Structure 1
Amino acid sequence: MDKLLRSISYIFHPLIMPLLGVIFYFSKSPRYIPLDIIQAKVISLFILTIILPILLYFLLKTIGIVNTINLKSTKERIYPLILNGIVILIVLQRILTPSQAIELYFFFIGILISNMACLILAILKFKASIHMIAISGVFMFFIALSIHFSININGTLALMSIIMGAIATSRLHLKAHTSIELIIGVFIGILPQLILVNYWL
């Protein structure tokens, strides 16, 4: 059980969540989008939101700013969150524009807001759960898409709810967070997406 709960934190790592939201959007969108454009955006986002942050993490570890991938202290979180914010800004400027996919544009605006909120809390020495921020933000985006496209994704939402519970259990089991840190993480993930729905739904 310990290995299972530990593996959940890695399998559903926050880094993969934005790309998961993008892939889900392209798989459900009724709009015609050429396959080569979809592939180009997915590959670009994979490089910018997964590969680049991993490389930046190793750079920060090499120069002694972070010690582990878990970013156990609030101090360790500050520079990775700043760099992640810059990466998201690049995505918004170069990859996802409002004219091409307004839903994805505001999805990443929400991610940026959640990232900045987490950064502010880290500066204030409060460690909100980035895992819960990421999964709950994607969960809210899925709900909004189901309403926007009038599609039934109850099975997907049920699975996402189970995954959220599994991640929360994993983080508590590993003593990475307290219950309040998980709850605050959920709110930081959901609220920006919920508020921004008004601009595209």
Structure 2
Amino acid sequence: MNNILKSISFIFHPILMPMLGVVFYFSKSPRYIPVEIIQAKLISLFILTILLPILLYFLLKTMGRTSTIYLSTTKERITPLILNSIIILLILLRVLPSTEIIELYYFFVGILISTLSCLILAILKFKASIHMVAIAGVFMFYVALSIHFSININGTLALMAILIGAIATSRLHMEAHNYKELVIGFFIGFIPQLILVNYWL
């Protein structure tokens, strides 16, 4: 059980959540989007949201700015969160501008707001759970898409709810966070996506 709980935190690392939302959007959207455009967006987002952050992490680790991939202290979080905010801004300006796929544009605006919120809290020495921020944001995006496209994804939403509980349990088991940090992390991820629904739903 110990290994299972630890693996949950690793498998569902926040770095993977944006791509999870994007892949889900393209798989469920009834809107016609040429395959070439989908492939180009996915490749660009994979590079910017997964590959580049991993490379930056190893660079920061080499420089002694981080110790683990989980960014266990508030001090370790500041630089990665700043870099991640810059990456998301680049995505909004170059990969997913508001004139193209508006749902994904506001999805990443929500991610940016959540990231900046985590950054502010880290500067104030509070360690909100980034795992919960990420999964809560994706969960709310799924809910909004189900309403927007009038599709039944109750099974997916139920699975996501179970996953949220599993991630929270994993973070508590690893003593990475307390209940307050998990709850605040959840709302930091959930609320921006909920508010931004007004601009595209």
1:11 aligns to what? 11
2:69 maps to what in 1?
A: 69
Once the two structures are TM-superposed, the CA of residue 77 in structure 1 deviates from its matched residue by 0.3
**How much does 1:99 deviate?**
1.7
Q: Which amino acid aligns with 1:175?
A: E
How far off its partner does 1:181 sit?
0.2
- Please name the residue that 1:134 is paired with: 134
Aligned equivalent of 2:151: 151
- 2:110 maps to which residue? 110
Q: Structure 1 residue 29: deviation in Å?
A: 0.6
Deviation, 1:70, is 1.6
Q: Which aligned runs of 4 or more in structure 1 are off by greater than 2 angstroms?
A: none
Report the counterpart of residue 99 of structure 1 in structure 2. 99
1:44-81 CA-to-partner distances (Å, cap 9, x unmatched) read 10000000000000111111111111211100000000
Q: Give the structure 1 partner of residue 82 of structure 2.
A: 82
Q: Deviation digits for residues 113-143 of structure 1, max 9, x if unmatched?
A: 0000000000000000000000000000000
Partner Cα separation in structure 2 for residue 70 and residue 193 of structure 1 = 24
Deviations 1:67-125 (A, max 9, x none): 11121110000000000000000110110011210000000000000000000000000
In the alignment, residue 105 of structure 2 is paired with which amino acid? Answer: Y
> Residue type matched to 1:141 in 2?
F
2:196 is matched with 196
Name the SS for the 2:134 alignment partner. helix
Could you tell me which runs of 5 or more consecutive residues in structure 2 were left unpaired when the two chains were aligned: none
- The letter for the 2-side match of 1:19 is M
The number of aligned residues is 201
After TM superposition, the score normalised by the length of structure 2 is 0.99
Provide the C-alpha distance between the structure 1 equivalents of 2:167 and 2:200, rounded to a whole number of angstroms: 29
Percent of aligned pairs with the same amino acid: 74
Q: Distance in 2 between matches of 1:83 and 1:195?
A: 25
Q: Which amino acid aligns with 2:46?
A: F
